[in-house]
Structure 1
Amino acid sequence: MSEWWASIPVFEKVFWYLAIPSTVVFMIQLFLTFFGLGEGTADVDSMDGGFDLDADGDGFIESAFNFFTIRNFIIFFTVFGWSGIAFSDMGFSEVSTIVISSVLGIIVMLIVAALFYFIMNLASSGNIDLNNSIGATGSVYIPIPAKGKGTGKVQILIQDSLKEVEAITKGKAISTGERVKVLEILDNNILVVEILNN
């Protein structure tokens, strides 16, 4: 194993250093998503300037096309790393390897961002009665400040549709990814939630 690693050029080793950890994190995210444990972590810390808007004032957050997210960066480095290894092994020049791997990574990022955009918009269609969320559980998407001092966002399944809804808590602050239960609905369509006891 050590002989094999020593035989790899330094340039290609950089791609291995990117590919392995990115792939591990990607597989963990995939596992959590499939088993319903990671719905609150998929787009955490999106860096698109906050384009998720409650355009019609119904309390629901309309999905935007989020390109710069942690999930997408992990996907980029996964694709960039493995394609870099492949093109380097095929004898491509260093510049060609970097350019082609970068283009492939960006293309896959665009595809994934588009898929999430259409899925979230599809889920947000139809008439949803927010009162049906009382007693339901979900995950914190944007951290919720303590004692009603500000709103965060939760992702919650209402009438078989995954929705992003503004929420407050009357207790301690709730961080991203925490499971919560809906206690009541305020007049301005903001959920009151509490941490779900395990």
Structure 2
Amino acid sequence: MEWFLELSSIQQVYWIVTGISTLFFLFILFSTFLGFDTDDIGDVDAEIDADTGAGFQFFTFKNMVGFFTIFGWSGISSLNSGNSTFLTIIISTICGLIMMTVMAALFYYINKLNDSGTLKMENAVGAVGEVYLTIGANRSSIGKVHVRVQNSLRELEALTDHEENLTQGTVVTVTEVTSNGILIVKL
């Protein structure tokens, strides 16, 4: 305690901010690694682009913790280097803002890596596939084809306008998708 009391008031403020924010940072870090969801803490996050999913989130709980952690440690380092109080505040604020920007960009780009996995049938048009179950001629019966859609091999129902049945193993191309999601294929 004597060590703390010997510090100047600005150093005490920086150590208090650093201590509290570092504890929060470590809590978030360990809870993330252990699989606990700390997003509930940041339910008051402000999104700049709220209409398109996650958006670029600058003012989040995690970003604020990152700001104050880097703000505190860079301020302590700056003061220990002999910089003035004004220069220390400028340096630590800039370092904190850089950290917030890096974290916001990191979370933004990580969230863009998410894929919903929802099949958009219109993406099948033009795809080449193989008949799995015989497709009746002139749309007489529904068959099935294996076709790669959205980088995933799918087994989908199909019809054809061809004059003969399309049997198993026949290579076909998807020409259109009906309103109820059935593929129309041709040789």
TM bin, normalised by shorter chain, reads: 0.5 to 0.7
> Is 1:108 the counterpart of 2:99 in the alignment?
yes
Q: 1:127 deviation in Å?
A: 2.6
Partner residue, 1:47 = 46
Partner residue, 2:118 = 128
Q: 1:33 deviation in Å?
A: 1.2
Partner residue, 1:73 = 64
* Counterpart residue identity of residue 3, structure 2: W
The answer on whether the counterparts of 1:84 and 1:101 sit within 8 Å (CA) in structure 2 is yes
Q: Which of 83, 96, 116 is 2:87 aligned to?
A: 96
> Is 1:36 the counterpart of 2:35 in the alignment?
yes
* Counterpart residue identity of residue 81, structure 1: G
User: Which TM-score applies when normalising by structure 2?
Assistant: 0.59
> Distance between the aligned counterparts of 2:64 and 2:84, measured in 1?
24
Runs of 4+ with deviation above 4 angstroms: none
> Is 1:17 the counterpart of 2:16 in the alignment?
yes
* Counterpart residue identity of residue 98, structure 1: I
Q: Deviations over 1:17-66 (max 9, x none)?
A: 100011101111111111211253364211236x333x5xxxxxx22000
Structure 1: any 5+ residue segments left out of the alignment? 56-61, 130-198
Structure 2: any 5+ residue segments left out of the alignment? 120-187
Structure 1 counterpart SS, 2:82: coil
Structure 1 counterpart SS, 2:113: helix
Counting only pairs closer than 5 Å after superposition, residues 133-144 of structure 1 correspond to structure 2 as none
Partner residue, 1:190 = none
User: Which TM-score applies when normalising by structure 1?
Assistant: 0.56
| Structure number with bigger Rg | 2
The answer on whether the counterparts of 2:21 and 2:68 sit within 8 Å (CA) in structure 1 is yes
Partner residue, 2:110 = 119
Partner residue, 1:160 = none
- Coordinate RMSD, CA, aligned: 1.8
The answer on whether the counterparts of 1:29 and 1:42 sit within 8 Å (CA) in structure 2 is no
> Distance between the aligned counterparts of 1:22 and 1:102, measured in 2?
14
* Counterpart residue identity of residue 7, structure 2: I
> Distance between the aligned counterparts of 2:11 and 2:41, measured in 1?
30
The answer on whether the counterparts of 1:29 and 1:38 sit within 8 Å (CA) in structure 2 is no
Q: 1:4 deviation in Å?
A: 1.2
How many aligned positions are there? 119
> Distance between the aligned counterparts of 2:31 and 2:95, measured in 1?
25
Identity %: 35
